[in-house]
Structure 1
């Protein structure tokens, strides 16, 4: 058992080393070799598959506005509702209920209502395709789970910021199967420690009772990752809104949460050695990482990190094995006391593994985005709140915030509304909010309770943001999903409870 209080942190603010400003010109100059040959640790076939999925998925939502413009031009036709549905089906792949179209046509075409309704329909179709076709191979977990356990870990929990520029952190940035990773997003990566402890207890209970994902007597650990974010291209404006684009503040806040989580496990169960924590900084310009390297005791420091963008270029002209060796060497921490055991040896192995996977994503950005995303800031298509949203694995698709009640998650939702006032309201578009409540299909009344929860959240959203709701600038859709299977999310109002 670890000594109680061992992980008590120093609450003083640390200064992160100043990042070298990102230069688009240099990125394009270095792109030629990257695009021509690709990095030795990147699978180009996988990158092409991921790119095709990203473009097709975002086009679902980005084409809505142009189609609605064409509907507006045809408004006034005698058979408008039926003609509009034929147009929607042909160009977007769905039809709206006739009563929705007819209601939106009273006294002029209500494009705000139609915009949100189209976003909702596209999301439902998007969810169905994601779970039924598994385009990201996220349900294929066996091989990666074995790799993870061989390095000493049985489960991973990721706590990213709710910012849509981190929504793809699991499937793209870290290249992990979504079914293997528990992701709960909060503004500023300020995850709920108590909720995370309850989930850890559930995982350990499964290990004791059912030996899933492995037996409790196997010496593996739980890995908790918190990821803050920053922008090298525009550090003072495109950083984390929840922390005022202050990178040091964002990093310290995420580290504090990790320390609180580990200390909570130690204080309550006396077994802090069964978990490890990782702090990652995500550069939202190019998906590279600031990987904070732990010392021999697993302690994380803000000042000690490696930059995967630098590693990407340093290892570009090496073969795969040499690149892996160089990555491993960058994670070695100087041992001042020769007899001090390296308790973080396994953690550094898994960090090297994650860095290799991230380098494939950096290669993706170099190949398809000239090394730097054109949308440096927010470009989300809708707000998602509640549980789940596993199907959202794309950058800047959704501002997603995990919450159980609006009261607890109000600050996160307010950040999302603030973002969408600039994204949508300034362009005359309404704000679509999708509410998700997951349920356990094996448990009696679980679905009914989830439905009531979604409806409570929906009511609270319209009350809290009544100024937008009353003028038709905020619309909501309640969805449910059985998280025990790979079924799609479905509309709540189509269900009988």
Structure 2
């Protein structure tokens, strides 16, 4: 009995919530004009939201308010581009049109273009010119979002101490998350799991089919840093690396809105992700010995409502497809309980899950960590219930742009971007092809271009790292235009190469794209 009480006390240490950024929350609680000016209003709006009738005891309503404002504001900046540009270009007969157009664009969307960019869109008969103008405005919005994200930290993603403490208490010194590249999972870290983006490593691949060799190299780097520098903790401490793979499915339309990489077959998606986790674990053990065993965790995500299916590891850390808990059911089962009662109920369900399958319960730290993630997800379930009536209206793809390369931590919103992690187009061709297919349905059929942002991160501490990243970004951009030549020639493929120094909270840096370079050469 004493052992059970001690275990419960250990688990209870996990339940301190991670608070949102109070400065950003206070600022955003005030109505804003399109270019960011604020008006003073009553300060009790957020506090009132915390007393909503029927709120689950474990739901963080203040954080939900912050996340909703951020989502609505950022998506509106991208969704309003087409309409605003058409309104502006309808007045192209005005004197000093470029200057007036920039004033209108800034007032309505908060960004500006150069005079040359406006002049290129003066002839509305040229659909290609409008496509270029649309893409440049979208790219400007991305750069604005990136700057705000890293400088102002609106989602408190740089406040990692609490999450890192919880991970370490559970026995983990680092966490890597491998979700599917589908844009409906782009908000997995900051929204669905409610984790600080800077506390975990996220690398997305179509079908959650992450690169095992790349993951092993990252593990080696982390362990080397522990041995050499004692970061994030000493190598003598008995902690492990946690690898999480996240596949997805749709309960509302399982045969059409599941994972495209697996033909919307939920079973195949889960099996493929689990196989990757097993292979990664085996690769570490084969290469570095059983003492280097990593912990793996498999999660399924319902993209209709952001609820989760968490597959519970047994005492040896092994994952099985038949052992899982579903957070939407747990949310309903614990809705009438106090916070303490709900926590205990979640932990019991996690233990019972394996016992009901004739297996062993997970280690106490693993149980507590999963219980904490479930409680975090409860806030997202409440978020979708309140703001989306329990199910997203866009249960399919509705991304605004494609991101390829590495990085993109600033993309933390559902259906904002389809993302493909890659070093070369050739090795990531399957992921990119899926993205192009998606955007042919989203944009091309409406006469809008497919906007692709290329990102290559670099280490500002390493000589030549930026130059190598720039050469890589330009190489990827050229490869994209060569592969999708028909779209490129017609103006339906628009690209912007970017760099970012990942050693600090620094925004993306724009590089001249192919079109800019060609224009400069013609001028010269």
**Structure 2 length-normalised TM:** 0.85
Out of 213, 223, 235, the position equivalent to 1:216 is 235
Out of 129, 153, 174, the position equivalent to 2:148 is 129
SS of equivalent to 2:94: coil
Distance 1:398 1:193 in 2: 24
Out of 86, 104, 123, the position equivalent to 1:87 is 104
| 1:380-435 CA distance string (max 9 Å, x none) | 10000001000000101000111111111010000000000000011111110000
Out of 428, 443, 463, the position equivalent to 2:482 is 463
Alignment partner, residue 121 of structure 2 = 104
CA contact (8 A) 1:168 1:395 kept: yes
Residue 106 of structure 1 deviates from its aligned partner by: 4.9
CA contact (8 A) 2:270 2:300 kept: yes
Alignment partner, residue 20 of structure 2 = none
1:348-367 to 2 correspondences below 5 Å? 348-367=367-386
Residue 353 of structure 1 deviates from its aligned partner by: 1.4
> In structure 2, do the counterparts of structure 1 residues 442 and 331 end up closer, same or farther at CA, with 3 Å as the change threshold?
same
Residue 386 (1) aligns with residue 398 (2): no
CA contact (8 A) 1:35 1:366 kept: no
SS of equivalent to 1:197: helix
Residue 272 of structure 1 deviates from its aligned partner by: 5.6
Residue 34 of structure 1 deviates from its aligned partner by: 11
Distance 1:36 1:426 in 2: 44
Gaps of 5+ in 1: 1-32
CA contact (8 A) 1:158 1:224 kept: yes
Distance 2:484 2:111 in 1: 29
SS of equivalent to 1:406: coil
Residue 75 of structure 1 deviates from its aligned partner by: 2.6
Distance 1:195 1:334 in 2: 32
> In structure 2, do the counterparts of structure 1 residues 84 and 229 end up closer, same or farther at CA, with 3 Å as the change threshold?
same
Alignment partner, residue 315 of structure 2 = 296
Residue 166 (1) aligns with residue 185 (2): yes
| 1:24-56 CA distance string (max 9 Å, x none) | xxxxxxxxx996231111111111011111111
SS of equivalent to 2:281: helix
Residue 71 of structure 1 deviates from its aligned partner by: 1.9
Residue 186 (1) aligns with residue 205 (2): yes
| 1:147-193 CA distance string (max 9 Å, x none) | 11111111110000000000010011000000011000000000000
> In structure 2, do the counterparts of structure 1 residues 107 and 369 end up closer, same or farther at CA, with 3 Å as the change threshold?
closer
Residue 237 (1) aligns with residue 256 (2): yes
> In structure 2, do the counterparts of structure 1 residues 231 and 343 end up closer, same or farther at CA, with 3 Å as the change threshold?
closer
Runs of 4+ in 1 over 6 A off after TM superposition: none
Residue 411 (1) aligns with residue 423 (2): no
Gaps of 5+ in 2: 1-49, 518-524
Alignment partner, residue 57 of structure 2 = 40
More divergent stretch after superposition (380-389 vs 350-359): 350-359
> In structure 2, do the counterparts of structure 1 residues 317 and 454 end up closer, same or farther at CA, with 3 Å as the change threshold?
same
Alignment partner, residue 443 of structure 2 = 424
> In structure 2, do the counterparts of structure 1 residues 444 and 100 end up closer, same or farther at CA, with 3 Å as the change threshold?
same
Residue 304 of structure 1 deviates from its aligned partner by: 1.5
Distance 2:417 2:296 in 1: 26
CA contact (8 A) 2:207 2:260 kept: yes
More divergent stretch after superposition (364-373 vs 293-302): 293-302
Residue 209 of structure 1 deviates from its aligned partner by: 1.0
Question: C-alpha root-mean-square deviation of aligned residues, in Å?
Answer: 2.1
1:480-495 to 2 correspondences below 5 Å? 480-493=499-512
Alignment partner, residue 18 of structure 1 = none
CA contact (8 A) 1:276 1:347 kept: no
Alignment partner, residue 28 of structure 1 = none
CA contact (8 A) 1:296 1:335 kept: no
Distance 1:37 1:107 in 2: 52
Residue 250 (1) aligns with residue 269 (2): yes
Residue 76 of structure 1 deviates from its aligned partner by: 3.5
Residue 335 of structure 1 deviates from its aligned partner by: 5.4
CA contact (8 A) 2:147 2:506 kept: yes
Distance 2:67 2:245 in 1: 24
Alignment partner, residue 347 of structure 2 = 328
Residue 337 of structure 1 deviates from its aligned partner by: 13
| 1:332-355 CA distance string (max 9 Å, x none) | 1555999x9866432222111111
